[in-house]
A and B are shown apart, each in its own frame.
Chain A
Amino acid sequence: MIAQYVLSGLTTGAIYALVALGFAIIYNASHVINFAQGEFVMIGGMASAAFFDAGLPLPVAIVLSIGVATLVGLLLEKLAVEPARDASVITLIIITIGASILLRGLATLVWDKKIHRLPAFSGEAPIVIGSTAGGATLLPQVLWVLGVSAAAVALLTWFFRRTLTGKAILAVSHNRLAARLMGISVRRVLAVSFGLSAALGALAGALIAPISFTAWDVGVMLGLKGFAAAILGGLGSSAGAVLGGLALGLIESLGAGYLSSAYKDVFAFLIIIAALVFLPNGLLGRRAAERV
């Protein structure tokens, strides 16, 4: 049984990790908590399903949906965050909340209020691991979720360590003014980080849609969990986001399995609150000191 719980915990955890990474990237570049992050996940799932239903092959539908979400992310940065860049952090947060309501509304107009399903990427026949009594069964889609998430994290690590654009984003996150003086275009860094976060969110949305379905309002809860994972790991830390996501997924799944499924989110949030009280900067967060 425990193998089954761990497996399903890691699967949802991987999705939370991708959403949390989106929060971390945008936070690093702009200090904005993007409450529209969950809507990118929704767009990823809904657009994939819509393109697939329109007759496109599944891989094409998914790539297109990631493209749509990236475009939305860039537009959000250009039209809403950029014009308000001098506003306080909380004003920017309210702008992203407005954007999330707008995007949910648009989703009901462009698509509908029904629940949609994307077919599994490679068949639905469950794979049995070990003996049927003590082992676990898993859907092939779970392997897709874990594999693609791991690949995305690896690619992202490479991007931040090895490419000039990735290093520019890191530089801006450490010191915006110094980065600008070094000739880094902060505006471009902001655009790239919003585009990247949107693409990650949409990828997560497409990956999870065959397992948990998708609808116009799935972004609210997924965004909330992603935010929780990002804070648990330490806001702004990429490794922390992944760790926080996996931890959150595991807590939920083990809590649901052994204690009570109705209260799984209560355990998750209780543990997060306790973790924050003892580790106020999250598992891997930087210590911040206030300057007077």
Chain B
Amino acid sequence: MDSSVAARPNGYSKTPRKPLLALAAIVAAMPLVLPNNYTYEVAILVGLNAIVCVGLNLLIGYAGQISLGHAGFVGLGAYGSAILAARYGWPPLVSLPVAVAAAGLIAWAIGRPLLRLQSHALAMATLGFGVIVSIVLSTEDRVTGGPDGMAVPPLLVQGERAWYWIVAITLVGAVWLAQNLIDSPRGRALRALHGSEVAAGALGIDAGAHKLSAFVISALFAAAAGALSAHYAGFITPGKASFLHSIELVTMVVFGGMASIFGAVVGAAVLTTLPQLLTVFKEYEMVLLGAVMMLTMIFMPRGLVPTLERALAAARRRPE
């Protein structure tokens, strides 16, 4: 902790606005280099996963609470909006926010008892929640279409290029929200929880309430990304809510760097594009993906972005 403060030349404590502008610039410039629809598709996938990861990082990286079931919230958002729109004829513009709010309400309801649990018990309980959601989604086939999935009505626009902008703007908005939250007293309370829950409690921080709010916010982000992805793709399957997807999401956060909002974005970008790139290796795809994950975490245990930030800071100091 101390060294990272020392690495900042002016010792400012506020999160700088520059990275947010940089992200917005990169996102805005991307269409100049994206050659075709397929790359747009990958970029949209990256953006959707990044939205989930920015939220999940608030919970894991800042509040220090693990969740192995966040794909459950992605699934709730996706299926909630899809079912309201397809089966009940709601306009997607209404079904989407309603489904996201409902997922947030569910997170609030289950978060109250579950977040009292510590580390591994919490991991297990959230994992159980995710598995339950995914089983219900694949079993209630009259409503959800079962394992084969269901078709979802489109939201306003269609086509990769239009959707790129919807996802891009949502992502920048999500990052902006997350950054503001972390700069607020609430964010400092969350970080205190990560350090030590007992010590934070002794300082008068209501640990339960703060953990719950981080959980609900992360669930809202996940559900929003899920609902957007359902309307974008026009089709969803229960795989969205699977245990493996939950694990992927946590991996993206840790891979990119915990307690770093841009780490979450970079982690999502790398681990979403990597499998696409690795498909050229066909049967070696899984072996390579596993190896890259292991090597990165062994040699950069803090994650990609924090490690690179340190290396850059060290390089900047050296020439003097």
A273 touching B125, Cβ below 8 Å: yes
- Min CB gap B161→A, angstroms: 33
A288 touching B251, Cβ below 8 Å: no
B128 touching A269, Cβ below 8 Å: yes
B293 touching A98, Cβ below 8 Å: yes
The answer, among A220, A265, A277, for a CB contact under 8 Å with B244, is A220
Q: Measured between alpha carbons, how far is A224 from B126 in the docked complex, in Å? A: 13
Q: Which residue of A lies closest to B255 (CB)?
A: A94
B interface, size bucket: 35 or more
A95 within 8 A of B: yes
B198 within 8 A of A: yes
B247 touching A270, Cβ below 8 Å: no
Per-residue CB contact flags for chain A residues 36-51 toward chain B (1 = under 8 Å, else 0) read 0000000000000000
B169 within 8 A of A: no
From residue 98 to 119 of chain B, which have CB atoms closer than 8 A to chain A?
Answer: 113-114, 116-118
A270 touching B132, Cβ below 8 Å: yes
B202 within 8 A of A: yes
Q: Measured between alpha carbons, how far is A272 from B196 in the docked complex, in Å? A: 27
Q: Measured between alpha carbons, how far is A98 from B296 in the docked complex, in Å? A: 10
A105 touching B285, Cβ below 8 Å: yes
A235 touching B120, Cβ below 8 Å: yes
A105 touching B284, Cβ below 8 Å: yes
The answer, among A86, A95, A97, A105, for a CB contact under 8 Å with B287, is A105
B118 touching A288, Cβ below 8 Å: yes
- Min CB gap A149→B, angstroms: 23
A98 touching B290, Cβ below 8 Å: yes
Chain B residues closer than 8 Å to A157, beta-carbon distance: none
Chain B residues closer than 8 Å to A104, beta-carbon distance: 286, 290
Per-residue CB contact flags for chain A residues 71-98 toward chain B (1 = under 8 Å, else 0) read 0000000001001101110110011011
Chain B residues closer than 8 Å to A265, beta-carbon distance: 131-132, 135
Chain B residues closer than 8 Å to A103, beta-carbon distance: 290
B202 touching A292, Cβ below 8 Å: yes
A90 touching B254, Cβ below 8 Å: yes
Q: Measured between alpha carbons, how far is A270 from B127 in the docked complex, in Å? A: 11
Known contacts A84-B298, A102-B291; decide if A280 and B283 are in contact (CB<8 Å): no
Q: Measured between alpha carbons, how far is A90 from B303 in the docked complex, in Å? A: 11
A109 touching B117, Cβ below 8 Å: no
Known contacts A105-B284, A290-B196; decide if A91 and B301 are in contact (CB<8 Å): yes
Chain A residues closer than 8 Å to B258, beta-carbon distance: 90
A170 within 8 A of B: no
Per-residue CB contact flags for chain B residues 227-244 toward chain A (1 = under 8 Å, else 0) read 000000000000000011
A5 within 8 A of B: no
Q: Measured between alpha carbons, how far is A91 from B116 in the docked complex, in Å? A: 23
B5 within 8 A of A: no
A106 within 8 A of B: yes
- Min CB gap B268→A, angstroms: 14
Known contacts A91-B301, A269-B132; decide if A262 and B139 are in contact (CB<8 Å): yes
A102 touching B128, Cβ below 8 Å: no
Q: Which residue of B lies closest to A36 (CB)?
A: B290
From residue 244 to 280 of chain A, which have CB atoms closer than 8 A to chain B?
Answer: 262-263, 265-266, 269-270, 272-273, 276-277, 280
A227 within 8 A of B: yes
A292 touching B196, Cβ below 8 Å: yes
A99 within 8 A of B: yes
B121 touching A94, Cβ below 8 Å: no
Q: Measured between alpha carbons, how far is A62 from B251 in the docked complex, in Å? A: 34
A102 touching B131, Cβ below 8 Å: no
B291 touching A94, Cβ below 8 Å: no
A266 touching B136, Cβ below 8 Å: yes
A189 within 8 A of B: no
- Min CB gap A50→B, angstroms: 17
Q: Measured between alpha carbons, how far is A134 from B225 in the docked complex, in Å? A: 53
Most-contacted residue by chain B among A94, A95, A231 (CB, 10 A):
A94
From residue 218 to 274 of chain B, which have CB atoms closer than 8 A to chain A?
Answer: 243-244, 247, 250-251, 254-255, 258
Q: Which residue of B lies closest to A220 (CB)?
A: B244
Q: Which residue of B lies closest to A80 (CB)?
A: B294
B20 within 8 A of A: no
B291 touching A98, Cβ below 8 Å: yes
A273 touching B284, Cβ below 8 Å: no
Chain A residues closer than 8 Å to B132, beta-carbon distance: 265-266, 269-270
A33 within 8 A of B: yes
A12 within 8 A of B: no
Per-residue CB contact flags for chain B residues 171-197 toward chain A (1 = under 8 Å, else 0) read 000000000000000000000000011
B284 touching A272, Cβ below 8 Å: no
- Min CB gap B216→A, angstroms: 18
Known contacts A84-B297, A269-B132; decide if A277 and B113 are in contact (CB<8 Å): yes
B290 touching A100, Cβ below 8 Å: yes
A273 touching B128, Cβ below 8 Å: yes
Most-contacted residue by chain B among A83, A95, A265 (CB, 10 A):
A95
A272 touching B124, Cβ below 8 Å: yes
A282 within 8 A of B: yes
Q: Measured between alpha carbons, how far is A142 from B282 in the docked complex, in Å? A: 39
Q: A86-B301, A101-B293, A277-B114 are in contact. List 4 more A-B contacts (CB 8 A).
A: A98-B294, A109-B287, A266-B135, A292-B202
A-B contact pairs, 6 of them (CB 8 A): A33-B120, A90-B60, A99-B290, A266-B135, A273-B129, A277-B116
The residues of B with any CB-CB pair to A shorter than 8 Å are 60, 66, 113-114, 116-118, 120-121, 123-125, 127-129, 131-132, 135-136, 139, 196-199, 202, 243-244, 247, 250-251, 254-255, 258, 283-294, 297-298, 301-302
- Which 7 pairs across A and B sit closest by C-beta, in order of nearness? A102-B290, A105-B286, A98-B293, A87-B301, A101-B290, A269-B128, A105-B287
